Amino acid sequence: MGVLLFTVDIRGNTFKVCLFFYLLVMTPIIVESKVRSLTLNSIFTHFPFQSLLHTHDSVAQRDFEPALPPLPDDAMEEDEDSVKIVSLVKTKDPLGATIKKDKSSGAIVVARVMKGGSADKSGLIHEGDELKEVNGVSLEHRKPKEILPLLACSEGAVKFKIIPGSTKEDMTSQTLTIPQLFVRTLFDYDPTEDPTIPCKDAAVAFRRGDVLQVVSTDDDTWWQACHLGDGGSRAGLIPSKQLRSFRLGRKSRRASKTAKLRRWSSEVHGTICPPTYIEVVPYHKEPTDRHRLIVLVGPSGVGVNELKRRLVISDPDLYGVSVPYTTREKRIREKEGVNYHFVSVQALYRGNYYGSNLDSVQRVMAEGKVCLLDVHPSNIKHVYTSEFKPYVVFVKPPRIEELRLTRRRAKFVCEEDCKQVRMFSEEDFEDMIDQAEMLDSQYGHLFDKVIVNGDIATAFRELKAELKKVDNLEVQWVPAVWMHSTPTKAWRSCSSLTGWI
């Protein structure tokens, strides 16, 4: 009786429980009656017991799963240890692996297995495995692109003949030890425009500012990641930090020969990382925490001061401004201590540029206010710390047609030595747009939000709503170094680059 109980428990506790109760009731009867064989016969021919046995047989034969094709006759002809026959049931999703041709041997090998894909979940296909056959078709002398149609036209089960790669065990142990790693992307990535991606369908597209969970950094060139919130889904390929940095370096060298201003340069950014990925961690804002510093940047004349002014007027108890220091001359209508503190070069910095006194920022923040700071983006690095947790808003001009319409009556206080207030000229609009493009290409990776200042009322509403959202969000993704002072182990383990914040 015990044996029967054990056998039925192959699949589903329901059968086990039914059989257990059945035997519990019937066994005393069997023992007490002297005609054991007759009783057993009646038990086994009893309808419910017959049904249970039938169910058991079905389960034991596993005929609840799609039928997999039988093993080919010649499967065992090759060295038994080195050949593996793997059958995967194909769904509407791809199998989740990429293949490549090994340059030296000409063999077709598994290049990558996507985390969470069918191949990964099966645990039967690994990176480095050599594919010999797909559905009985030999892959010898075939190119990877000829193999994809073979997979596409197969339905139900796909059968692979595989020679396992030697690195399988090492890879498994590496993958299991990767701690959780989240990054904010500092550039847009569209795999359809990347000719070097091994497989466009296996890639993940993203926009600057997206948060991704990186699930594999085993490969130096292509990492595997999925969008935040898609945790359970299949991961895809993204350019690794190393690949992106390499490309940036190349682009920068090319650009330096032509448009000097537009190249990305570590000199401009000081200690801020190159625009690849930045490791982020969740920051759980406590009600007692100070407000984050709001940094507003934009080309001259775009309306940063106008927006700041409107914010303070709208809620003077909540918003405060830090009056920046400058070494330039005072312009007409500007007041000392209101627009700027005008100081000499010797007293402040070397060179004629905007600076902001951190004490004044700290004072506004200590009053429990949201401090609005207007600086050139090259100065963001001074406040890029856990103390200030800056949230950077880029105020961008609209298209020139809208600038002409919206600034018809606006007065422009021109740069540097010009002390006159005058109407905007066509040249001012062009300069503003050019400057905005330059700021975006050099510092765009530092911007958390872009506000287009076309209609002033709309821009102001959008800005105010955004600041409110930032202030109320309970969980915010911020650079890991703000919370841990050094990058996490996960990031260090995948990063061979220096130049971190």
Ligand X SMILES: Nc1ncnc2c1ncn2[C@@H]1O[C@H](COP(=O)(O)OP(=O)(O)OP(=O)(O)O)[C@@H](O)[C@H]1O
Q: Residues interacting with ligand X, by CB under 6 A?
A: 298, 300-306, 406-407, 410-412, 453, 456, 459
Q: How far is the CB of 485 from ligand X (least distance, A)?
A: 34
Residue 291 near residue 315, CB atoms below 8 Å: no
Please say whether the beta carbons of 147 and 139 come within 8 A.
yes
Q: Toward ligand X, which CB reaches closer, 235 or 383? A: 383
Closest approach, Cβ 397 to ligand X, in A, equals: 9
Q: Which is nearer to ligand X, 322 or 406 (CB)?
A: 406
The size of the chain, in residues, is 501
Q: How far is the CB of 304 from ligand X (least distance, A)?
A: 4
Q: Single out the residue of 227, 218, 225, 221 nearest to residue 198, CA to CA.
A: 221
DSSP classification of residue 180: P
CA 3, chain centre distance (Å):
52
Cβ 363 vs Cβ 341: under 8 Å: no
Residue closer to ligand X by CB (options 298, 444) is 298
Q: Give the C-alpha separation, 466 to 393, whole Å.
A: 10
Give the nearest distance from C-beta 313 to ligand X in angstroms.
13
Given the complex with ligand X, which of 174 and 339 has the nearer CB atom?
A: 339
Residue 469 and residue 372 in contact, taking contact as beta carbons nearer than 8 Å: no
Closest contact distance (angstroms) between CB of 298 and ligand X is 5
d(CA 170, CA 467): 48
Q: Which helix (H) or strand (E) holds 44?
A: helix 36-45
H/E segment holding residue 475: strand 475-479
- Distance of closest approach, residue 303 Cβ to ligand X, in angstroms: 3
At residue 212, what is the residue type? L
The nearer residue to ligand X, 373 or 459, going by C-beta atoms, is 459
- CA–CA dist 227, 216 (Å, integer): 13
CB of 408 to ligand X, least distance (A): 8
The answer for 396, left when phi > 0, alpha when psi is -120 to 50, beta otherwise, is beta
Of 457 and 475, which has the nearer Cβ to ligand X? 457
- The residue (of 278 and 459) whose beta carbon lies closer to ligand X is 459
CA torsion through residues 364, 365, 368, 372, sign: positive
By beta-carbon proximity to ligand X, the closer residue of 110 and 304 is 304
Least distance (Å) from ligand X to the CB of residue 390?
18
Owner of token pair 């971190």: 500
Cα separation, 156 vs 286, in Å, equals 52
Structure tokens at 440: 């975006």
Q: Which residue is nearest to ligand X (CB)?
A: 303
Alpha-carbon distance of 107 to 105, in angstroms, equals: 5
Any alpha helices (H) in 338-421, and if so which ranges? Answer: 358-366, 400-406
Ramachandran area for residue 12 (φ above 0: left; ψ -120 to 50: alpha; else beta):
left
Nearest CB to ligand X, comparing residues 25 and 457: 457
166 closest CA partner among 108, 126, 212: 126
CB of 224 to ligand X, least distance (A): 42
Least distance to ligand X from the beta carbon of 297, Å? 9
Rounded CA separation 166/127 (Å)? 9
> With respect to ligand X, which residue has the nearer C-beta, 280 or 459?
459
**Which CB atom, from 301 or from 355, has the smaller least distance to ligand X?**
301
Least separation in angstroms between residue 328's CB and ligand X is: 10
